[in-house]
Amino acid sequence: MSSHPEITMYGADWCGDCRRSKRLLEELDVQITHVDVEADLSAADKVIEINGGAKSIPVIVFPDGTHLTEPSDIDLKAKLQSLNII
């Protein structure tokens, strides 16, 4: 069992916002599980479910069950701090 809290990011390689969020998480040394919505159609369905019908990515799901969709770096960092992940 990993000591890192489980964070899942639904995204795609072509998505600029996904790359930006992924880069920030890497810079902060935050471990994530990356799910490619292009390769995994059930993940694409999950994104639509989380977003209430929208296909917006990235969707980042946190250990407490909350999520952010297309967060700015500032919002993402604040969320990680609020959960004591960083």
70: CB partners within 8 A, 6+ apart: 17, 56, 57, 58
Residue 56: Cβ-neighbour burial (10 angstroms; 0-12, 13-18, 19+): middle
Residue 1, pLDDT score: 39
pLDDT digits (tens, 9 = 90+) for 73-84: 999 999 999 999
pTM of the model: 0.92
pLDDT digits (tens, 9 = 90+) for 7-44: 999 999 999 999 999 999 999 999 999 999 999 999 99
Name the token pair of 10: 């639904």
Residue 2, pLDDT score: 44
User: Which domains are seen in the chain, by residue range?
Assistant: 8-82 (3.40.30.10)
Q: Coil, strand or helix: which one is 70?
A: coil
Q: Work out the average pLDDT over 49-75.
A: 97
